[in-house]
Amino acid sequence: MKVRSILADVRKSLGIAVWSMVLLFPLMVMKVSVTRGVAQVQFRWNFLPFVGIAGFVLSFAWRIALEWKDRRGNNKSEGTFSRVKAWSGQYFARPAVRTSALLALLSFVIAYPFLFGMYHTNIMITAFIYVILALGLNIVVGLGGLLNLGYAAFFGVGAYTYGLMWKYLGHSFIAAGIDPGWLFWISLPLAGIMASLFGILLSLPVLRLRGDYLAIITLAFGEIFRMVMQNSSDITGGATGISLIPRPWFFGHKLPPPQAATYIYFIAIVLVIITIFIVRRIEDSRVGRALEAMREDEVACEAMGINLVKNKLITFALGSFWAGIAGVIMAAQTTYINPDSFTLWESIIILMAVVIGGTGSIPGVIGGAILLKLLPEYFRALAQYRMLIYGIAMVLVIIFKPDGLIPRKRKQYTFEEKELSK
């Protein structure tokens, strides 16, 4: 039975190989060159076998992977991998192991900027910014179930809040003898609030929309924000953006760039921890569960007396808040912002981090964000294939791990178990 199915796979893959040779013939084998107005066709026959072999290998691997997925779906609890997973799960459930693992991770994270230098520290800061962004978007997409394709706009609102504060208030700060580093700390909560306000502004027209329509409106909002920033040159500096934004000062001292990077790194860590803490609290709270209920069934929500309007406003406001915070860190880290940093592509990457990591799962979303930000940095050689790789990764995740790399483990809400068991 098994041999037969493999033979069938081989036969089908051979078919695919032949097809790919035929289809890719004009692209891979024929080469047209024009010399003095005369087209000359050169046939590179030696390419043909490679095309065939590649087609065969890819198709065969794909079939094996699909079969493996089906088999794994049938008997989930068996197999070495799941046994290792179960064992490590038990191992990590022990409080002592958990605490020491967390401590080890924490000390590594703290030592990181001193071990690896400024370049790597900066990359890490970017990764942390994306972690905050992904956690924020996760509230909207994972909990509330509202697809937001304009999330980068809120990121931009945060960055521009800090940028504009610097542009218009920086001089008066210096004139008054207050160090401009304070602007960062004022901007941090302010940017969060501004982003929340914009979130509420966006949520008003989309209250009655779901799914595709919501995605389109949020997408449009993202582009509108970018266009407004780009075209109101008098206020925002237009396409040239705002430059020389100060990094945060360390208790009244202006730090040189490497130390400033380390400082921002630690600020980012603290903010990531605060974000994780608050997002978890939201998830476990009644409001969080109401958001999930809204994702599941809006009519039932209304019948239960949950105010949908209020719920949606809360979702957008809470989700956007973190984007605003992340924007300030981003502006402080790069010291320069312009509208090109907040394109649709940016929104899509954040959404991809959420989906690839595992929608609704906090560890998943963190992992997804770090993965999507770090891998491109360390594989710069493959930079021109980045989109291709992202696309392939997305397809693979959706087919093989539809719940994401670290799927959400629902926290069981055990209510008065004791009273009933007696």
CB of 281 to another protein, least distance (A): 17
Among residues 4, 11, 76, 410, the one that binds another protein under rule CB under 8 A: 410
Q: Which of 46, 387, 413, 422 binds another protein (CB under 8 A)?
A: 413
Residue 294, token pair as written in the block = 């809204």
Q: Which of 109, 293, 374, 405 binds another protein (CB under 8 A)?
A: 293
For residue 143, state whether it binds another protein (rule: CB under 8 A).
no
The residues near 5 (Cβ < 8 Å, ≥ 6 apart) are 67
What are the C-alpha distances in Å from 293 to residues 145, 237, 300, 308? 9, 43, 8, 10
The site map against another protein for 363-402 (x = CB under 8 A) is ----------------------------------------
76 touching another protein, by CB under 8 A: no
Q: At what angle do helices 151-175 and 308-334 cross, to 10 degrees?
A: 50
Q: What is the DSSP letter of 76?
A: T
Total number of residues that touch another protein (CB under 8 A) = 25
β partners of residue 34:
39
The H-or-E segment that residue 215 falls in is helix 211-231
Least separation, in Å, of the C-beta of 154 and another protein? Answer: 26
Query: What sign does the dihedral 361-365-371-372 (CA atoms) show?
Result: positive
Please tell me whether residue 290 binds another protein under the rule CB under 8 A.
yes
Give yes or no for a contact between 269 and 128, defined as CB atoms under 8 angstroms apart. yes
Closest distance to another protein from the beta carbon of 410 (Å): 7
- Distance, CA of 271 to CA of 273 (rounded, Å): 5
Interface segment toward another protein; rule CB under 8 A; list 21-29, 181-189, 291-299, 350-358: 291-299
For another protein, the closer CB: 104 or 309 = 309
Asked whether the beta carbons of 404 and 357 are under 8 A apart, the reply is: yes
User: Does 297 contact another protein by CB under 8 A?
Assistant: yes
Closest contact distance (angstroms) between CB of 365 and another protein is 17
CB 324 within 8 A of CB 162: no
Of 236-244, 328-336, 377-385, 414-422, which part binds another protein (CB under 8 A)? Answer: 414-422
Report the interface residues with another protein, using CB under 8 A.
Answer: 286, 289-290, 292-293, 295-297, 299-307, 410, 412-416, 419-420
